[in-house]
Amino acid sequence: MRKIGFLLFLDCSLLDFTGPLSAFDAANRLAGKTLYRLTLYSEPGGMIRSSAGALIHTERIGRTSFDTLIVAGGGAPREGLVSPALRRHVLRAAARSRRIAGICTGAFVLAATGLLDGKRATTHWRMAAKLQQMHPAVKVDSDRIYSRDGAVWTSAGISAGIDLALALIEEDLGVELARAVARELVVYHRRPGGQSQFSNLLEMDPPSGRIRETLSYARNHLHESLTVERLAEIACLSRRQFDRAFSAETGQTPAKAIEKLRAEAARPRVEAGEESLENIARAVGFDDPERMRRAFLRVFGYPPQAIRRAQRRQETLYL
């Protein structure tokens, strides 16, 4: 039996922990025995109020040991309010756990302890730039549903925690049980960790007008040559100033952002299956299918052909 501890905070998002909790609970029910012992914790223990106003009873984390510690998101982590005592609790638990995971802004807690230093991690797309700014030693990948680096896992927020839980179940007990749990929850069995979060760059709203206008220009001119020099000219900044400002406000380099914008624009057309990959690549500015293929691998974790085949399989499944 594996002990799973969920660490909660004031103003926690219910789905951040109830989604994964339901996945582990379903694994227990489907197996007909207790594979996972599930417990909710907080630093003080007692009742914790969620962002929706619901009260959740928790135990005090203390010196508890776990197979897996899952740190959920909440108001305190989002604002970087991680007390020295909580850091010690998390570090102690991590040292005694086989693995540790952060869901949504739970990544801020792990980053505050140094557990993410030098590691790849993700969080909710809206908070990715802030995580990178507050913790520059973390390799923040804002465009993944979930990420694993050694024994440390992180995921985006809300429903992405279910994807992370399914991946943990599959690692523990195999693909068949994970697939059965997904069917029980009526979710896809496997959205790959590298699959893009909800078009984060398309929704990004940088604070300064110059970077906002540059992104808007880029979205409307993807088929054109969008060099960093050209973007800096549009922003009325020097190349060096633009690089710094863009990275600070978006958490991305300009080149990586343009690549992601193009990949995000191309993906629905790839999935639709009505155009050749050559035509799609040219239409969004990749020039040729090979450049688009490399970009898809970096952004989504899969080449366009695999994504198109997967979409066809899903359409056939739900007909």
Amino acid at 16: D
Which tokens is 239 given? 């190349």
Q: Return d(Cα 232, Cα 238) in angstroms, integer.
A: 6
Provide CB contacts within 8 A for 221, sequence distance 6+.
none
Helix crossing, 289-299 with 254-272: angle to 10°?
A: 100
Q: Return d(Cα 146, Cα 123) in angstroms, integer.
A: 8
203: left (phi over 0), alpha (psi -120 to 50) or beta: alpha
Decide if 20 contacts 161 (C-beta within 8 A): yes
What spatial distance separates the first Cα and last Cα of the chain, rounded to whole Å?
39
Provide CB contacts within 8 A for 70, sequence distance 6+.
4, 5, 6, 7, 17, 20, 100, 101, 102, 103, 106
Select which of 38, 69, 104, 168 is catalytic.
Answer: 104
Decide if 20 contacts 146 (C-beta within 8 A): no
Q: Return d(Cα 72, Cα 279) in angstroms, integer.
A: 43
The DSSP 8-state label assigned to residue 50 in this structure reads B
Residue 47: Cβ within 10 Å count: 10
**Tokens 């739900």 belong to residue:** 318
Q: Is 236 a catalytic residue?
A: no
Per DSSP, helices labelled H in the chain are 14-31, 75-78, 84-95, 106-113, 128-134, 160-173, 175-185, 200-203, 209-220, 228-234, 239-250, 254-272, 277-283, 289-299, 304-317
Active-site amino acid positions: 104
